[in-house]
Structure 1
Amino acid sequence: MSRVSGKTARAHPVDSASRRVRGKVPTMHDVAREARVHQTTVSLALRNHPRLPLATRQRIQKVAARLGYRPDPMLAAFNFHRLASHPVKGTPAIAFILDADARRCFSQRAGHPVVIEGARQAAKERGYGLEPFVLDSEEIGPRRLDQILLARGIAGVVVSTFETKTTRLELDWPRCCAVKIESRHLWPPLDVITNDQHQVTRLGLRRMLDLGYRRVGLVSTREAERRLGDAFRTGFLVEQASLPESARVPPLLLDDSDRKHPERLLSQWLEKQRIDAVVSNLNDVARFIEATGRRIPMDLAFASLDLTPETPNLAGVVQNHALVGRRAVEQVIALLHAHERGLPEVPSVTFVPGFWRDGSSAPPAEAFE
């Protein structure tokens, strides 16, 4: 029997459309009553907390979706600060996946450890843990990883760096809220968070030209270009398009076989193209240039397109790896809160720009004239 207060016991759920007609916004209390559970259980289910069985979480999430329940953004903001100050036990986890062949990218000299640290910090601030998984055909393959994620109740997934020889990652994607970091060559077509290597390269070339260098060349690898959608090379060619044809230099793209000892190939390219400055996403190129008998910066200027704390004297562009990791986790958590699982209908790409830093490897060209 209906009452003036509007608190009516019903045998059937009421659809969200009829609630909105009467102007009543569904609350967590409504979801709890409809699902016949406590509000705390609803809160845990909507946060996909592993404390609850997967079937219970999914049942409550379906009830919330049917009622048209949306979390209060002000309350969510309050909870964010509460969790940041007082972490709860049984922290839910987000998986951070990379393949075994890409582990070299996580050496201490690369920017990738900064990516995972940024991701870990963002997860911690929001009450989540970050759990890395390395895919290996012998130890943990996709099928085994699926079993682990399901058993641990992990639905949030960040897919990180994969070598280009790995072209597909088969997981139970309809169950996951997932994004990729770089690895745009890799199936499935998820939303991507990446440094803006196109902008980074254009900025690096532009600054070298502003410093007075006339013949600036790019050194990259075919592997990096395939993994990043030709971002370095296309950025370089686009920025070069505004130069006179006589000032344009063809990029040097190294194969894996050239990567460890490219000195001969590099020396031939430098001499043939009469290059006075090099930009590269490979910081080792500075060492290889000096191995050809050329001095930096007296004979040739060099600017890195991926400066790290280990290269304090180099000029170049700093890529914001920590922010890439942070944005990836933030997006996964947003998907978890919105219960948006599976592959996106139209995948998006979020680009994080870099910034220039002066250094002794690229002084003004006039200093050596």
Structure 2
Amino acid sequence: MRPPKKFHEGTSNRLAALLEQAVDLAEYRRIQSVLMRSRNNMDAASIAALTGLGVNTVRILHSRFLREGEACLLSRRGKRKQDVESQPKSGATAKDERSPARVEALPPDANENIRTGPECNKTKTTVGMTVTLRDVAARAGVSHTTVSLALRNSPTLPAKTCDRIRRHAEALGYRPDPRMHELMDAMRARRINRRPDTLAYLIAYPDRETWKKDQSLFRYYEGVRAQANACGYQLEIFWLYEPGMTDRRLGEIIRNRGIDGVIIAPLPRSQLLFQDFPWHYFSAVELGYSLAKPRLCRACHNHFLSMQRLVNRLHARGYRNIGLAMEEGQDTRVLHLWRGAFSAAADLLPGKRRIPMLVPETWKREYLEAWLKKYRPDVVISVGMEVCRWLAADRIHKKDTPDFATADLLSAMGDTTGIDQNSQQIGVAAVDLLISLMRTNARGIPAVPRIVMVEGEFVQGTTMHVEKLTPFNHPAAARAVR
């Protein structure tokens, strides 16, 4: 077996530097060319150890680069052949004697020229033209590094400069290489001797630890933390109500820590907070709808669809007298989507008796008992633990207690029928959305916020009938007999 070849320190440093600065297709090709030039000094395992890439990835880069070099050579030779054929025949014509099948056997200098030439460092457009970052830089009169920063909306450049360079790029037909994000993600995930970038998780509960006792809130956090770690970031919690803390001071602390992305956890209720927070420094994503202003990009549950799905399931089981009872604040924090979806379902489902919704400002058990006595629903839909507990207690003493289903299923409710909102997946979606904003340097309050919704799942429990109701087993029939 041939012993591994040694590598030169200077070459390895240059290789590592190029990998760190890779921003577009041209830089990606430069990485490949350095890898090819380095094969006389180091083996694939040594390159992998230096770059943080896998050995297989290094080998794939080698083989892919050879294929692209061959295609580039054939393209150039075909173009030269067309030029020669279009010229009048007079005397001897220049002819390339080398065979395309011998591309890999060309002299090292020739191979290097082919791989690193401007025709290989290109982006294809719909009209067949090729454009690189350096082409855009020459057109705009700036360096290719400035072009890269401008196309990523870097805050280090004036907005007018970014707009001008983007117009030049569009005029030339420049298109970025989507594979670069995959390469940079792989490099970030494989770095060992490096402190990971940090994302800020903002908490605005009056007590530092209270939110962890709420199952939904904690599942949001678990999803955010797991996805941040999977993407090469670490998550750090910042509490708004630290002694002497203000919105602006919190923002400055996060900025001075070098953190670019923040996630705002759900608030105790829908309210105005973070009004003096310096949003223009950060890419920001909100969990849910509880932050009244400003309107940020958000990841949330699809409340409207879940309520309609729950009502449809109850209707399919034979329930016709379906009631909705919840505290007004629970509906307000989701922009009244609960009530809107319930009303829409009541209008669309045939044979369903319309029961007025019970949505008081504050919960009292007397309100619920009076409402049940007056309208006698077969099943009650609610959010939160109060109605679930009250009906469970009544079921012990009263035989005509209606069935129950929740639009937000929590583990503390036991074997209850309802909708699992997939809170952990909402946290995952929030991190994915935030990273997409950070990659494009989309900072501040967006003119048009993006919303990513996660669907819930219906879970059958013991608080409603599993089989379809008939005149013989319907709760209303049982009450009539009694």
* TM-score interval, smaller chain: 0.7 to 0.9
The CA deviation at 1:175 is: 1.5
Superimposed CA distance per residue, residues 149-180 of structure 1 (whole angstroms, 9 cap, x where no aligned partner): 11101121112212223355322122211121
Q: Distance in 2 between matches of 1:297 and 1:181?
A: 41
Quickly say closer, same or farther: Cα 1:150–1:343, change in 2 above 3 A: same
Quickly say closer, same or farther: Cα 1:61–1:328, change in 2 above 3 A: farther
Match of 1:77 among 179, 182, 187: 182
Q: Is the CA contact (8 Å cut-off) linking 1:294 and 1:300 kept in structure 2?
A: no
100-109 or 327-336: bigger deviation? 100-109
Q: Distance in 2 between matches of 1:82 and 1:6?
A: 26
1:253 is aligned with what amino acid? Answer: V
* Match in the other structure for 1:152: 257
The CA deviation at 1:340 is: 1.5
Q: Is structure 2 residue 224 aligned with structure 1 residue 224?
A: no
* Match in the other structure for 1:316: 418
* Match in the other structure for 1:125: 230
2:319 is aligned with what amino acid? Answer: Y
Q: Distance in 2 between matches of 1:295 and 1:105?
A: 34
Aligned length: 334
More helix by proportion, 1 or 2?
A: 2
* Match in the other structure for 2:344: 238
* Match in the other structure for 2:461: 359
The CA deviation at 1:141 is: 2.0
Which consecutive unaligned segments of at least 5 residues does structure 2 have? 1-113, 119-126
Greater C-alpha Rg: 2
Q: Distance in 2 between matches of 1:128 and 1:60?
A: 28
* Match in the other structure for 2:133: 26
Q: Is the CA contact (8 Å cut-off) linking 1:204 and 1:356 kept in structure 2?
A: yes
* Match in the other structure for 1:289: 391
Superimposed CA distance per residue, residues 79-108 of structure 1 (whole angstroms, 9 cap, x where no aligned partner): 434544555522111111131249787343
Q: Distance in 1 between matches of 2:413 and 2:179?
A: 43
Q: Is the CA contact (8 Å cut-off) linking 2:305 and 2:455 kept in structure 1?
A: yes
RMSD: 3.7
The CA deviation at 1:348 is: 2.9
* Match in the other structure for 1:330: 432
Match of 1:302 among 399, 404, 414: 404
1:98 is aligned with what amino acid? Answer: I
* Match in the other structure for 1:112: 217
Identity rate, percent: 24
Quickly say closer, same or farther: Cα 1:201–1:194, change in 2 above 3 A: same
Q: Is structure 2 residue 372 aligned with structure 1 residue 270?
A: yes
Normalising by structure 1, what TM-score? 0.77
Superimposed CA distance per residue, residues 115-166 of structure 1 (whole angstroms, 9 cap, x where no aligned partner): 1111111111111111222212744320221121111011211122122233
* Match in the other structure for 2:156: 58
Q: Distance in 1 between matches of 2:350 and 2:397?
A: 28
Q: Is structure 2 residue 320 aligned with structure 1 residue 214?
A: yes
Give the 3-state SS of the residue equivalent to 1:223 in structure 2.
Answer: helix
Match of 1:142 among 226, 241, 247: 247
* Match in the other structure for 1:344: 446
Q: Is structure 2 residue 351 aligned with structure 1 residue 253?
A: no
Larger relative contact order (C-alpha < 8 A, sep ≥ 6)? 1
Normalising by structure 2, what TM-score? 0.60
The CA deviation at 1:247 is: 0.5
Quickly say closer, same or farther: Cα 1:180–1:105, change in 2 above 3 A: farther
Q: Is the CA contact (8 Å cut-off) linking 2:205 and 2:211 kept in structure 1?
A: no
185-194 or 77-86: bigger deviation? 77-86
2:223 is aligned with what amino acid? Answer: G
Q: How does 1:191-206 map to 2 (within 5 A)?
A: 191-206=297-312
Q: Distance in 1 between matches of 2:185 and 2:161?
A: 24
